[in-house]
């Protein structure tokens, strides 16, 4: 078994695709409208879905926002340098909600970025 994708419901599909592709550097892997179901699915990721997990962005037509509740945590991305990643994300117009630095009670360098719907994306600095 392997993880195929994580699904997020989004209010503005174009803004979400722009965030994940232009700010976080993913690629739009595929996108399809389902008129009978009144929704669109877009898959974004860093590699082909046969090789790596993706994020499924689900846009239900006519829904502009969702209550994320308290159960959602975050999606984690590995980065070589969390400080440089934050600077680049800010330069691209992204929102860094927690600057790079050691995690509370530890030494691993992390940061958090918010996507257009407020979902948290954790950046974890890869250890050499």
3-state secondary structure of 15: helix
Enzyme catalytic residues:
122
Contacts of 15 (CB under 8 A, 6+ apart): 116
CA distances from 31 to 16, 25, 62, 70, 126 (A): 13, 17, 18, 29, 31
CA distances from 95 to 25, 115, 119 (A): 15, 7, 11
């Amino acid at each position: 078994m392997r993880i195929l994708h994580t699904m997020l419901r989004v209010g503005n599909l174009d803004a979400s695709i722009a965030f994940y592709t232009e700010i976080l550097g993913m690629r739009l892997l595929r996108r399809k409208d389902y008129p009978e179901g009144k929704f669109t699915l877009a898959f974004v990721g860093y590699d082909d879905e046969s090789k790596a997990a993706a994020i499924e962005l689900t846009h239900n037509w006519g829904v502009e926002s969702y209550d994320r509740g308290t159960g959602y945590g975050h999606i984690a991305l590995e980065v070589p340098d969390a400080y440089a990643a934050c600077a680049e994300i800010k330069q691209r117009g992204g929102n860094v909600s927690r600057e790079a630095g050691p995690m509370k009670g530890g030494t691993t360098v992390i940061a958090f970025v918010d996507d257009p719907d407020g979902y948290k994306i954790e950046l974890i600095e890869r250890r050499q």
